[in-house]
Amino acid sequence: MNKLLAVYRFEMKRILTPGRSLWWLLVVAFPVSITILMESFIPAPQGADPQDIDTAFTIALYFLGPSIACMLGALLTAAPSVASELEQHSWIYFATRPNGLFHLVMGKFFVAVTWTASASLLGVALSLPISRIQSTGEAGMALLLVALLSSVGYSALYIMIGTLFPQRAMVFCVAYTGAVELFMGFFPAVINRLTVQYRLRSLLFHWTTQSEAFRDSDVLKYVASTEGVLLQLLWLASFTAIFLSVALATVQVREFTAAQETDV
């Protein structure tokens, strides 16, 4: 535990540089700025049901905060977890320490969760008062909880991809996100139930009150599950455990090298 805490503290100090702090502020500002633009340029429909407006803006804030902002935050912190150590030639020092690689991976995972969650939670909290959501208490609590779970899930996912493809971690993370999480996550088939996005959306719809028109539409059954909250949490916990297990197993059995591909 002391070694894990030492890695966490060291990585937190290393990540709190002016450049990373600027990126953190940009992740915070992303949902806020888009919400301001929506308020400025999208006129309020006359005679619209307030519940319909709440549903529309809740879904919009979900995509801005727990979805895109969390993905971006995890991409910047979790994806290069192995590549950064290889570039700095510090991998061998962790590999030769007892449980060094375990502490490294888990320490970087907790740092990524902290960095991503703090940025996305603050971004959502600042966006709520600007939006047209009237039931800010219910929607705010649901969005904040989903953002926290999203930070955990995507940090574990990108840590796994970063260990499997350290030299091309960013490329593979972006490709996976676009092809699986964003495309297949909305594809009306069984495959979308195996994505983090599907489980996060299901929790959001369980924790918020949707408009009657949206709740009764055929679209809902393709984008969210009507099963219980505990089952959705179990799915997310299982995803996180699998991602971290694969990452930990990979760093233990794979021989990483810092050499360029042309030099091997």
pLDDT at residue number 263: 43
The residue type of 46 is Q
Q: 90-128 burial, b for 16+ CB within 10 Å, e for fewer?
A: ebeebeeeeebbbbbbbbbbbbbbbbbbebbbbbbbebb
Give percent above pLDDT 90 in the chain. Answer: 47
The band of 262, judged by pLDDT with boundaries at 50, 70 and 90, is: very low
pLDDT (tens digit, 9 = 90+) per residue, 81-100? 888 887 777 777 777 777 88
Please indicate whether residue 108 or residue 211 has the higher confidence score (pLDDT). Answer: 108
Report the 10 Å Cβ neighbour count for 57. Answer: 22
Of 138 and 189, more confident: 138
Q: Provide the pLDDT for residue 212.
A: 64
Reported as a single tens digit per residue, the pLDDT across 161-215 is: 999 998 888 999 999 998 888 888 777 667 788 899 999 999 998 898 776 666 6
Residue 260 banded pLDDT, cuts 50, 70, 90: very low
Q: What is the pLDDT of residue 88?
A: 76
What pLDDT is stored for residue 219 in this prediction? 66
Place of tokens 């059995």: 253
Alpha helix positions (H), 79-228: 81-87, 91-95, 100-127, 136-164, 169-176, 196-207, 212-215, 220-223
Q: Does residue 197 contact residue 185 with C-beta atoms inside 8 Å?
A: yes
For residues 169 and 161, the answer to whether their CB atoms sit within 8 Å is: yes
Q: To the nearest whole number, what is the mean pLDDT of the chain?
A: 86
pLDDT (tens digit per residue) in 114-123: 999 999 999 9
Note the pLDDT tens digit of each residue in 16-57: 888 888 999 999 999 999 999 988 887 767 766 777 778 888
Round to whole Å and give the CA distance between 14 and 35: 32
